[in-house]
A and B are shown apart, each in its own frame.
Chain A
Amino acid sequence: MALLKVKGLTKRFGGLLANNEIDLEVPQGSLFAVIGPNGAGKTTFFSMISGFLNSTSGSIAFDGRDTTRMRQDQIAAMGLIRTFQLVQLFKGMSVAENVEVGCHLATRGGVAAALLRPSWFRRQEAEVHERARELLDFVGLGAQADLDAELLPYGQQRLLEVARALASRPRLLLLDEPAAGLNTQETDGLAHIIEKINRQGTTVLLIEHDVGLVTRIAHRIAVLDFGRKIAEGTPDEIKVHPEVIAAYLGVEEAAYA
């Protein structure tokens, strides 16, 4: 069954059609990727799915429920967690605290609990600290836990954002160009981590610019160009898809050559 089902999703900015009638189904447990050249409408698409942008028309259903008009925090509460292309770290908080914030949805308790600290709350706080450590170890930032998050090098900031998103135990993890700005070595490490996350049972939807990364790890790929979905299939199908090569791969290869 499809965990995420997008139908006819359209976004119009004034005269610009950023997304045009996009259909997409992300099966439970898959590692799905959306690729496309810059300006193809990938981030717009992502923002609508995660509730940061309202669509002009079309519908989004997550886990069988219509989320088209939901607020971002409501969508997040259903288990759809995103990261950002421009990392959105919590400045003034340590690396570990950043991940602890990520545990928000997986925990409970407000002002009263914080003041009275009943035993369940204390236990939960201890678990949060422990879980933050585990996740930092998982992405390889265990040694940096007490650093100010802002002081991390760029590549590690991205990893931190992934760890933070994982802390809320997402059912669908949306990664917005996680490899942007990373070197080859860092990208390899990231690919490894994403695969591991997926193997542990989390469905992953990935937007990426780096075709190499995507064709290596994704189970299924959709290609956007000028706001339209021009192809969808397995990596092998996509690699030989004539329209994709024409619209995207050819251009990219030429650019990288």
Chain B
Amino acid sequence: MTSLAITSPKPAARLDRFSLGLLGAGALLFAAVLVYGGYLLTVMQLAMIYGIFCLGLNFFMGYTGQASFGQNAFACIGGYGSAILCVQYNWEPALALIASMGVAGIAALVIGYPTLRLRGHYLAMATFALGLITYDISVQWTSLTQGYMGYAGIPPLGIGSLTVEDERLKLLCLGGLLLVGFWISQRLRDSRFGRGLRAISGSENGAAALGIRISRFKLIAFVIAGLYASAAGSLFAHTVGFISPEVFGPQMVIVTFTMLYIGGVGTLIGPVVGAIVASLLPEIFRSTGRFQDIAYALVLLLMLIYAPKGLSALGALFRPRKDKGEA
């Protein structure tokens, strides 16, 4: 089995031409939507938010090679944190976002410490349970979360009196935040820390033999993923202005995984490309309404079977395979 190698000798230029092309195509789509406006603005806004979520997921799933089917729990903390702090206590949205991230980070630390000792199916199920518990709490703890009703009237993001109300401006801001998230992801990946994470995904024994503290690295990756997820949850709340338990329900797991798989798990650009593609694709057959979920599930299944490495890996098809001959 070959695997993708988006690597080149110089650390500064880790992206090959195909990946750059994909990113460029994403940027073009972004610009087109910005000009075209209308309903697609909302779709693209959500794509940016999901992109941030997936960037975090990619830290844990992609770089470190661990499974978490419960990242929606941290998005839920972020979303409700923002909603409650802003609506009930009139906090500044930006402050609420950061405070929620703090809570989510601590939660990830406390939960991850015992949970990450598990492996394989057990880790998958424990994290999945985490997401479900959070969902149930958001439904049941009505005094805090208002149950199924959810929260409406969450103020948009802004600093002081400067709030971002215009949809185009919102999209631009979210695009900017996604870029920041991407930049952080790139910096961390191409560093001593990032190499450690990827080594764990390659071989835990090999990594431990070189002095890498496996459990600590996994935990840090889990916390980073939680922070990203929480930020995404908060941004959703501030962008849409409304949240309910359903927003962060188990289907969020499927949606975000589809994105990650479409883009390419473990690749640098995968989360961003996947989020944009997977968000826009359903719009093509949007009139189908109910079929949207079916289309998602089918696309995910087909990807899992026939293209488990995602779009970013297609680059390998266009690359001269000097390596193949030598192998």
In contact, B202 and A89 (Cβ under 8 angstroms): yes
Interface of B is mostly: helix
A121 to B193, CA, bound (A): 12
In contact, B205 and A52 (Cβ under 8 angstroms): yes
Which residues 77-125 in A have Cβ within 8 Å of B in the complex? Answer: 77, 81-84, 88-94, 96-97, 100-105, 107-111, 113-115, 117, 121, 124-125
**Chain B's nearest CB lies how many Å from the CB of A85?**
11
Residues of B within 8 A of A110 (CB): 192-193, 220
A91 to B3, CA, bound (A): 8
Number of A-B contacts (CB under 8 A): 146
B177 at the interface (CB under 8 A from A): no
Q: Which residue of A lies closest to B3 (CB)?
A: A92
Given known A-B contacts A92-B202, A114-B193, A145 and B9 have beta carbons under 8 A apart:
yes
**Chain A's nearest CB lies how many Å from the CB of B47?**
25
A252 at the interface (CB under 8 A from B): no
A92 to B203, CA, bound (A): 10
A90 to B195, CA, bound (A): 10
What total of chain B residues lie within 8 Å of the partner, measured CB to CB? 40
A154 to B324, CA, bound (A): 15
In contact, A148 and B192 (Cβ under 8 angstroms): no
**Chain B's nearest CB lies how many Å from the CB of A151?**
4
In contact, B206 and A89 (Cβ under 8 angstroms): yes
Residues of A within 8 A of B207 (CB): 90, 101
A83 to B206, CA, bound (A): 8
In contact, A148 and B323 (Cβ under 8 angstroms): yes
Q: Which residue of B lies closest to A106 (CB)?
A: B211
Q: Which residue of B lies closest to A148 (CB)?
A: B5
Residues of A within 8 A of B210 (CB): 76, 81, 101-102, 104-105, 164-165, 168
**Chain A's nearest CB lies how many Å from the CB of B304?**
18
Residues of B within 8 A of A107 (CB): 192
A152 to B187, CA, bound (A): 28
Which residues of B are in contact with A by a Cβ distance under 8 Å?
A: 1-5, 7-9, 11, 184, 187-188, 191-196, 198-199, 201-203, 205-214, 220, 224, 266, 323-324, 326-327
Mind listing 16 A-B residue pairs with CB under 8 Å? Answer: A76-B208, A81-B209, A84-B209, A88-B206, A93-B5, A101-B207, A111-B188, A111-B224, A113-B192, A115-B184, A115-B188, A125-B192, A148-B323, A151-B2, A151-B326, A152-B327
7 A-B pairs with least C-beta separation: A90-B202, A88-B206, A114-B191, A76-B211, A88-B203, A105-B211, A148-B5
